[in-house]
Structure 1
Amino acid sequence: MEALSVHLQTKLIRLKPVCISHTTPSAPKDRKRSGNFKNADNRCLSVIQSLRKKGLPVIANELVHRLKAEGFHMDNSTLTSLMLYYANNGFFTRADALWHTIINSAYDLHIHVVSNLIDAYIGAGLFYEVSRIVHEVSIRHPQLQHQVYVHTISCFGKIGEVELMDNALKEMVSKGFPVDSSIGNAYIVYYSRFGSITMMENAYQRLKSSRFLIEKDGIRAVSDAYIRDKKFHNLGNFLRDVGLGRRNVGNLVWNLLLLSYAANFKMKSLQREFLNMVDAGFDPDLTTFNIRSVAFSKMSLFWDLHLSLEHMNHNGICPDLVTYGCVVDAYLDRRLGRNLDFALRKMNVKDSPPIVLTDSILFEVLGKGDFQSSSEALLEFNMHKTWTYKKLIAIYLKKKYRSNQVFWNY
């Protein structure tokens, strides 16, 4: 502590000449007054920031008081820097005192300062204080109201405080600020993650009534919620309501619709909607084909699986680890391992590096096959080795052969 005091005294000695030069009644120096103040403020800010990095809030506070006693003028940057440091380190009483100094002064208040302060209070669970800060900004700096409300709504939504998020949104609307597309879509995403299905559906209906389109993140979030609750029929209805002709979200809507049928192995409906997708002018991607391939594999529909592989090859789409897993699992589950070479003949097993490019939402619904799970574990364990699908299949076949030998020996 004594060493810190000496360090502090040294800093004050270095800063003192600037203060003295400012207070000396000299015309040439008076002309440089603003420059001296600026240099002093920059040095004060530099010292405080260095103390912040070292985790010394008490010393930083003492430095501020002693600089004031020496006649230094604390500018906005210095005060906000110290305030945010106090808030981020849990010294909310001191942060609040500086906040009142700043908010009641003539200083310009920047949105990033308010946003960082709100983040600190929300991180500590001081939600009531956040509401107070928003209210004070609304009174003293009305030009920042909308931005502060948007940030607060986002912060409450990210931590799952949907009721507080809803209250902040209602308060924002009551003051005449509009709810734009980005806020409406974020609202749906947060309700999908942390709210009930009913709350999520109500949020979607409000977005529709505002005549805003639900965007890609919103579609995925709502779909995830339906998938978690295994409400695949509701998922299909939602996707049709969104619009199967939406091209600005790629194949997402169609892939999710196919997945809703594959989840319950409604194979005729799956095939019908796939044809409707192609007829509508959409080009199936790797995820589209793998949704069908996984369903065909689990149902042991070898002919359909082969036709799907032919279609992929015709469209120039390279299979990934999921596709190979569908083929390997389908044949081995039916004890047709000897025919596996025939199935893999038109697939590039020798040169292609194993990789997963399929949308992970497929695994949330249909899970991962045994070959894929085993191969991923092997790839993770031997990351520096060069792998091909041929090597992975050979190792997997040996593993299955040994497990069968152990089974028959017992």
Structure 2
Amino acid sequence: MKSYGIRPSLETYNLVIRGFSRIGQFDDALVYIDEMKNAGLKPNTETYDGLIQAYGKYKMYDEMGRCLREMVSSGCLPDHVTYNLLIREFAKAGLINKMERTYQALLSNRMGLQSSTSIAMLETYAKFGILDKMEKVFRRVLNSKVCLQEDMIRKLAGVYIENLMFSRLDDLGLDLCSKTGSTDLVWSLRLLYHACTLSKKGMYSIVQEMESNQVPWNVTIANIMALAYLKMKDFMELEVLLSELPSRYVKPDIITVGVLCDACMSGFRGIPVKRIWTRTGFFDDTVEMNSDPLVLIAFRKGKFIRDFEAMYSLVEAKTKKKGSWTYCHLIDSVETHTKTRLMGS
């Protein structure tokens, strides 16, 4: 451009500066900032926003602060894009104090909070289990037009479970339903509330509501109830549940098998269930994990799953390869590994 006598514009410099910043070549980026100033062009918010975003990408948070101070001292006042960007970058880094101070600065300047910024703050509060602030931001997001991703909902649910606030799971399910309708996650959350409190009456009410709405079961629903019955040692209900899965067109997964095996170790008469599953050919199927992650968050891993993971890590370390397992092979291998370990101890 210069060789043709074309004077680079502010937009051109901004593109060059952003490009160098994105690949971490900050010295080059700063050289072009000085050059544009010498050319009589004043950096604008877009110039500094590109730098700030890149500093965040490379976890250079002190440089972010210096960049902001340089921005203000040069007479380029941060706008709502700059503040939202800073809040998101501080949120990703878990720098809660800086995130909150920047948020207060945004409010004091009467600027708007972008939806992506609200979600970043929500995710940070959930990650660190800051319950009151998490709920406050969640209410704000819920009252907006933003639709939260299901993974974010699971993070919120995980915080409630960790704090034994199981009734909030039902509230969360109903709140989600108001935004998205009755999804599988909605039913799982509402059922989990009653399962975690070991309320058979509550679980029945959710199942009846599902049936009245013609909502079919899935393996997540089945496992939530099965784990609750196992925890209650209600083996009669557990046998009925596991036996009727084929008629409900629900294919068990590794968690279901874990429930069956753990129950058998606690005195459950599992032969009728095994006979039914054998007739369907289930035990010859490849091992799968199809349950919602919330199931293990709520009930933790049972002994069978823990034994399998210990055995699998050992087998994988020896063979250096992963192969497919059938449920029959899985059960036999775990039992053999457990017996061998007990004999060795």
Equivalent residue, structure 2, for 1:139: 76
Pick one of 334, 339, 360 that aligns with 2:267.
334
* Residue 260 (structure 1) aligned with residue 189 (structure 2): no
Percent of aligned pairs with the same amino acid: 20
Q: Equivalents in 2 of 1:225, 1:130: separation in Å? A: 35
- Name the residue aligned to 2:255: 322
Distance in 2 (alpha carbons) for counterparts of 1:356 and 1:312: 16
- Structure 1 distance, partners of 2:17, 2:171, is 55
The answer as to 2:147 corresponding to 1:227 is no
**Looking at both structures, which has the greater relative contact order when contacts are Cα pairs under 8 Å and sequence separation is at least 6?**
2
Match of 1:388 among 308, 323, 326: 326
Q: Please give the alpha-carbon distance, in whole angstroms, between the structure 2 residues aligned to 1:350 and 1:187.
A: 45
Distance 1:348 1:303, change over 3 A: farther
Check if 1:188 corresponds to 2:122: yes
Paired with 2:121 and 2:145, the residues of 1 have a C-alpha distance of 15
Partner of 2:226: 293
Q: Which residue of 2 aligns with 1:8?
A: none
Matches of 2:262 and 2:204, distance apart in 1: 21
Distance 1:400 1:187, change over 3 A: closer
SS of the residue corresponding to residue 245 of structure 2 reads helix
In the superposition, relative to structure 1, how do residues 348 and 175 fare at CA in structure 2: closer, same or farther (>3 Å)?
farther
Q: Does 1:105 align with 2:38?
A: no
AA paired with 1:192? A
Q: TM-score, normalised by structure 1?
A: 0.66
- Name the CA shift for 1:129/1:340 in 2 (closer, same or farther; >3 Å): same
Q: How does 1:336-351 map to 2 (within 5 A)?
A: 336=269, 341-342=274-275, 344-351=277-284
Give yes or no for contact 1:134–1:148 (8 Å, CA) kept in 2.
no
State the aligned residue count.
334
1:274 partnered with 2:207: yes
The question of whether the paired residues in 2 share the 8 Å contact of 1:162 and 1:195 is answered with no
Secondary structure in structure 2 of the residue aligned to 1:322: helix
Q: Does 1:200 align with 2:134?
A: yes
The 1-side partners of 2:84 and 2:74 are apart by 13
* Alignment CA distance shift 1:186-1:282 (3 Å): farther
8 Å contact kept, 1:156–1:165: yes
Deviation for aligned residue 1:202: 2.1
Work out whether residues 84 and 95 of structure 1, in 8 Å CA contact, stay in contact via their aligned partners in 2. no
Change (3 A) 1:398 1:97: closer
Contact 2:287 2:327 in 1 (8 A): yes
Give the 3-state SS of the residue equivalent to 1:275 in structure 2.
Answer: helix
SS in 2 for 1:265: coil
Q: Kindly tell me: are residues 347 and 300 of structure 1, through their superposed partners in 2, closer, same or farther at Cα, counting changes over 3 Å?
A: farther
CA distance in structure 2 between the aligned counterparts of 1:293 and 1:366, rounded to whole angstroms: 11
How is 1:333-372 mapped onto 2 (pairs within 5 angstroms)? 333-334=266-267, 336=269, 341-342=274-275, 344-372=277-305
Q: Which has the larger radius of gyration?
A: 1
Q: 2 CA distance for matches of 1:163 and 1:271?
A: 45
Once the two structures are overlaid, the 10-residue window that deviates more, 159-168 or 354-363, is 159-168
- Mean Cα deviation higher: 284-293 or 248-257: 248-257
1:11-65 CA distances to partner (integer Å, 9 max, x unpaired)? Answer: xxxxxxx99xx5xxxxxxxxxx359x99xxxxxxxxxxxxxxxxxxxxxxxxxxx
- Report the equivalent of 2:88: 154
